[in-house]
Structure 1
Amino acid sequence: MSHTVRKLFIDFEKEEQWLNDMAAKGLALTEYSWARYVFEESGKGEYIYRIELLEDGIKGAKSVEYLQFMEEAGVERVIMNKGPAAHNKWVIFRRKASEGPFTIYSDTDSKIKHYRRIHRLWMSVALMEFIIGFMNVGLVALDYIGIVSNINLVMGLLLIILGAAFLLFSVPVHQKIKKLQSDKLIRE
């Protein structure tokens, strides 16, 4: 029997933990799209899930090679159901728990690289929101009386707020990068 859950995550580690908690309850993720997860009943704890942000889209040359490597290692990619899947960089992997522990990052440098990709993503989206938001607010100055000004002002302010939210999302990721770098220096 299929179970659909609608849930939105900002933190991939919390999403990963939630997927593993669902697997522990006997629900295996079979497909996902933005904020929509479809589960099938399975053995309790049958799978271990990991989430990764790829360097380029799913169809990119590096990603195709990497996904093939993961498949050869006995790791499945959960299929994204809808949306621009070819341009999607987020992937959810799963592997049978009976095959032992499943980690993607074997060293600190690869973890740092992954967190940097996530940080760049949040910062890029924040910058885009700020630029478009301030452009909309700037248009108000050109059309100081009229309905277009009101719409531009509201939309501009909303985009600026959204940009600030994405900027805030990047802060914990940046802190994790700094902590990993610090830990790496201590070990060297």
Structure 2
Amino acid sequence: MKKLKIFFDIEREEKWLNEQLAKGFRCTKISSLGVYTFEETDKKHVMRLDYRDRMRKEKDLEYTNMYEDFGWSSIAASKMVGIRYWQKEADGHDELFSDRESLAKYYQRLMVYSGWLGITLFAIMVNYIFIQKPSFYHDGLWHMEGSLFWKAFLFETPFALLKALPVLMVILFMDGYYRAYKKYKVLKTA
């Protein structure tokens, strides 16, 4: 079974993947375009996600071996994004982070991930709004009449809406940053 789903929040993605496991579908592959491949299973599994910056080959091998030693298996996914997908049979030791400090570092990495994506998309948004002046592409659109106007308007509407996509994505990534920051702050102050 394959499902197409796009997430801007790692924790929501992890929750959704665990819901699929509860329904009896184990994830076997994740494409960079958001296509999740599942297979049926009768065993109870748990899935955890981690975000890591790009690592040198030796460091990546050490990271992978550490989790594999604890029974986790890595799901095939794009390493370009930096999100790692770990899955194993549920055995009561189902958390990736064993202490507050490692969990705090995880939320700190999520803040950096969300923050940089949010800043990048904010720059794109500023470019669209202040430099390119968001509008419909065809200059003569508003001078057209009748069915010609409506055809041109309907054709160009999806392209104009695409210009608003960075605004929505900035909001989503900044929300992710804020939620990771709150969790990080609680772990660091307690």
- TM-score (norm: length of structure 2): 0.73
Percent same amino acid among aligned pairs?
Answer: 24
Contact 1:77 1:92 in 2 (8 A): yes
Q: Write out per-residue CA displacement over residues 78-122 of structure 1, whole angstroms, 9 at most, x where no aligned residue.
A: 112xxxx3423101101122x442211111111111111111111
1:168 matched residue in structure 2: 175
Distance 2:88 2:60 in 1: 18
From 120, 145, 152, give the equivalent of 1:128. Answer: 120
Between the two structures, name the one with larger relative contact order (CA 8 Å, sep ≥ 6): 2
Deviation at 1:38, TM superposition (A): 0.9
SS at match of 1:87: coil
1:151 matched residue in structure 2: none
Distance 1:139 1:62 in 2: 42
Structure 2 gaps of 5+ residues are 140-159
Q: Write out per-residue CA displacement over residues 23-79 of structure 1, whole angstroms, 9 at most, x where no aligned residue.
A: 22221111112422111111142x11111101325x644222101221232210011
The answer to whether residue 67 in structure 2 is matched with residue 70 in structure 1 is yes
Contact 1:56 1:62 in 2 (8 A): no
State the aligned residue count.
Answer: 166
Q: 1:139 to 1:8 in 2, by over 3 A?
A: closer
Distance 1:169 1:147 in 2: 36
From 84, 87, 93, give the equivalent of 2:86. Answer: 93
Contact 1:54 1:63 in 2 (8 A): no
Structure of higher CA gyration radius: 2
Amino acid at match of 1:54: R
SS at match of 2:39: strand
Write out aligned runs for 1:24-63 (5 A): 24-33=22-31, 34-45=33-44, 47-57=45-55, 60-63=57-60
Distance 2:41 2:165 in 1: 43
- TM-score (norm: length of structure 1): 0.74
Q: Write out per-residue CA displacement over residues 116-173 of structure 1, whole angstroms, 9 at most, x where no aligned residue.
A: 11111111111112223323444348xxxx979xxxxx67765345323322231111
Structure 1 gaps of 5+ residues are 149-153
Write out aligned runs for 1:12-31 (5 A): 12-31=10-29
